[in-house]
């Protein structure tokens, strides 16, 4: 590994430190630049043999960039709509700036504000508000199996006017609990507005753009899936494909949370890997040239990331896989650790507060643990499932060995991911799942099958309706099996237990020991290979 010998690792640490100092320390610009200057001074004192002075100088500059970028990002404009969030009824006009998320009795979206009309007058404003449109209770039964709330399904780019209550987000109900206000502020949203669907008027439709086309494609895909699958099974498939599981019943969501498999219902690296696996195999079978295959997979990945909402997890995975696929086109060998570090820098450069996003933290912790742990285990596990040298096993034996290797690999991947993410999960969710390793191994395999069956059913239904229905029937069986496993493993009280949030010092100590142990193991493995 030799992380301390990687300049990109040191620059990433410096940039992250700049973000933390700006956010946690609430330091003024003079203090931030003072720390950067201190790093430069240390660079003049530290012997060049320990660390090149040019690297330390660049670390100071990168720290300053992270500090300044975070400080600027946190500034609330003077004409932000949150200045009028007094808990009163207003008319708010603006443009929908996110994919609307239908779920049960409401539709939620981010509204980029343009004008607000209050009891004192009408004003031009900027900024964004998290908007929720609720349908009246009498419409719930009639729309039980639809993805919309009361038939109101806006699209990205639509210009709307809402008549509702504008206020600041409520503080956390439990001391030390997660703060919805902080979550929204990381997205540059500082107020919320709620109204009934009858109080939301669409004033006009936006021009076609990549985001708007992606939003309409997402809505069309949702409609088609709900036509082919039962509601719960369709919602499960949409959670896997698009990362929105809000339409799932609350008891199903709770079962996924108790078994530690809820991350499989969010657009993440695993979902991107499944997409690459399925379409990569299809193009390989069609004998598409490898260069063309890699180029098409890169386009497909970024299309998936845009449709799925471009969250930190899916963007991280897309950047990493793009780097690996592009390396072949550029005749270069990709470096996994540097690829992860580049993804961290790109995401935090776009939004420094992504560092505080739980999805960002879980995603990177899981992928770092897998990337560092699996190379140590795979050389020892792989030979156990290979035929003996000189033997000629038949197809049944080969199939059995492949199946056993797949299951064991899935279990090992789950263990590595749990080692990387357990402290973060305990910090945010105050629970540890006992069955997560087994549940993740089983459900991860079913996710591949369900994704393949779901995509096949949608594609075939556009050509031959009966073929699409047949594929959907197979997908419904896989989804039912997945729901059965998760529900069965999650129904027992002992499937998970509650814990207190660990301290920040414990988290730092845990990851220092974890990375130190892996560094030692990698050095021992490298020494053994040289003997």
Average pLDDT score, the chain:
81
Claim to verify: residue 329 and residue 451 sit in the same structural domain: yes
Distance CA 59, CA 192 (A): 39
Q: Is residue 391, in this structure, part of any structural domain at all?
A: no
Q: In this structure, are strands 88-96 and 431-433 parallel, antiparallel, or unpaired?
A: unpaired
Overall average pLDDT of the 254-273 stretch: 77
> By residue range, what is the domain housing residue 233?
218-386+396-500
508 domain residue, yes or no: no
Residue 505 lies in a domain: no
To 10 degrees, what angle do helices 436-461 and 465-490 make? 170
Residue 347 and residue 452 in one domain: yes
The span from the CA of 440 to the CA of 415, in Å, is 9
418: pLDDT strictly greater than 60 = yes
Q: Is 141's pLDDT higher than 50?
A: no
Q: What is the pLDDT of residues 431-454, one digit of tens each?
A: 787 888 888 888 888 888 888 898
- From 51, 73, 95, the end of a domain falls on 73
**92 and 231 belong to one structural domain:** no
Q: Give yes or no: residues 269 and 198 share one domain.
A: no
Q: Are residues 126 and 233 in the same domain?
A: no
Residue 54 has pLDDT above 80, yes or no: no
Q: For residue 515, is it within any domain?
A: no
pLDDT in the model for residue 160:
92
Instruction: Specify the DSSP element, H or E, that contains 122.
Output: strand 121-124
Residue 125 clears pLDDT 90, i.e. is over it? yes
- Choose the final residue of a domain: 41, 73, 105: 73
Helices (H), 114-243: 180-185, 210-228, 231-242
Residue 86 and residue 52 share a domain:
no
Query: Would the pLDDT of 94 be above 90?
Result: yes
pLDDT bracket for residue 138 (50, 70, 90): very low
Number of domains in the chain: 3
Single out the residue in 139, 173, 207 at which a domain terminates: 207
Indicate the SS3 state at residue 86: coil
Q: Which residues, other chains included, contact 218 with Cβ-Cβ below 8 Å and sequence gap of 6+?
A: 99, 242, 307
More confident residue, 238 or 34: 238
The verdict on residue 529 lying in a domain is no
Instruction: State the average pLDDT over residues 295-322.
Output: 83
Residue 476: pLDDT band with limits 50, 70, 90: very high
394 vs 456, higher pLDDT: 456
> Quick check: is 516 in a domain?
no
Q: Does one domain contain both 186 and 249? A: no
Whether residues 170 and 138 fall in one domain: yes
The CATH number of residue 169's host domain is 2.40.50.140
Higher pLDDT pick, 51 / 489: 489
- Estimate to the nearest angstrom the gap between the alpha carbon of 400 and the chain centroid: 34
pLDDT at 462: 86
CA distances from 1 to 16, 320, 337, 516, 522 (A): 20, 18, 8, 10, 7
Q: 344 in a domain, yes or no?
A: yes
* pLDDT the model gives residue 174: 53
Same domain, 297 and 446: yes
Question: Is 510 contained in some domain?
Answer: no
Q: Tell me the percentage of the chain whose pLDDT exceeds 70.
A: 87
* Pairing relationship of beta strands 200-204 and 101-103 according to DSSP bridges: unpaired
Query: Are 350 and 493 contained in the same domain?
Result: yes
Mean pLDDT for the stretch of residues 455-476: 89
The verdict on 17 and 111 lying in the same domain is no
Q: Are residues 351 and 431 located together in one domain of the fold?
A: yes
């Amino acid at each position: 590994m030799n992380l301390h010998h990687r300049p990109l690792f040191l620059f990433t640490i410096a940039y992250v430190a700049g973000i933390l100092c700006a956010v946690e320390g609430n330091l003024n610009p003079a203090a931030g630049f003072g720390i950067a200057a201190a790093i430069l001074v240390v660079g003049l004192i530290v012997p060049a043999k320990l660390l090149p002075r040019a690297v330390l100088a660049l670390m100071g500059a990168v720290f300053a960039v992270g500090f300044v970028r975070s400080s600027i990002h946190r500034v609330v404009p003077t004409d932000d709509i949150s200045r009028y969030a007094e808990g009163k009824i207003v008319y708010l006009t603006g443009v929908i700036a996110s994919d609307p998320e239908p779920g049960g009795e409401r539709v939620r979206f981010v509204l980029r504000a343009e004008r607000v009309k209050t009891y004192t007058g009408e004003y031009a404003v900027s900024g964004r508000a998290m908007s929720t449109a609720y349908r009246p209770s009498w419409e719930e039964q009639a729309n039980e199996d639809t993805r919309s709330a009361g038939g109101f399904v806006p699209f990205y780019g639509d210009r709307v006017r809402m008549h509702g209550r504008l206020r600041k987000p409520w503080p956390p109900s439990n001391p030390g609990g997660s703060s919805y206000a902080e979550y929204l502020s990381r997205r540059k949203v500082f107020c919320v507005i709620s109204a009934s669907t009858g109080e939301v008027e669409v004033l006009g439709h936006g021009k076609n753009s990549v985001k708007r086309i992606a939003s309409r494609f997402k809505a069309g895909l949702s409609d088609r899936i709900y036509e082919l699958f039962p509601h719960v099974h369709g919602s499960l498939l949409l959670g896997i494909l698009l990362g929105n599981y809000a339409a799932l019943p609350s008891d199903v969501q709770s079962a996924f949370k108790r078994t530690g498999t809820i991350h499989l219902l969010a657009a993440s690296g695993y979902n991107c890997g499944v997409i690459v696996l399925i379409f990569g195999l299809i193009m390989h079978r069609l004998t598409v040239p490898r260069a063309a295959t890699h180029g098409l997979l890169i386009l497909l990945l970024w299309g998936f990331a845009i449709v799925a909402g471009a969250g930190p997890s899916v963007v991280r995975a897309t950047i990493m896989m793009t780097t690996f696929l592009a390396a072949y086109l550029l005749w270069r060998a990709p470096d996994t650790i540097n690829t992860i570090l580049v993804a961290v820098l790109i995401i935090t450069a776009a939004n420094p507060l992504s560092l505080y996003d739980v999805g960002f933290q879980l995603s990177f912790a899981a992928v770092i643990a897998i990337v560092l742990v699996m190379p140590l285990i795979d050389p020892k596990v792989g030979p156990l499932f290979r035929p003996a040298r000189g033997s000629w096993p038949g197809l049944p034996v080969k199939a059995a060995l492949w199946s056993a290797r797949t299951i064991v690999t899935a279990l090992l991947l789950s263990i590595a991911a749990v080692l990387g993410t357990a402290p973060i999960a305990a910090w945010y969710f105050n629970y540890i799942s006992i069955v997560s390793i087994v549940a993740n191994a089983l459900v991860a395999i079913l996710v591949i099958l369900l994704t393949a069956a779901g995509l096949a059913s949608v594609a075939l239904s556009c050509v031959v309706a009966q073929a699409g229905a047949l594929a959907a029937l197979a997908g419904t069986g896989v989804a039912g099996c997945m729901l059965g496993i998760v529900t069965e493993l999650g129904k027992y009280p002992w499937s998970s237990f509650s814990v207190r949030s660990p301290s920040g010092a414990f988290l730092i100590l845990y990851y220092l020991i974890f990375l130190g142990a892996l560094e030692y193991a990698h050095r021992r493995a490298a020494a053994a290979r040289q003997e």
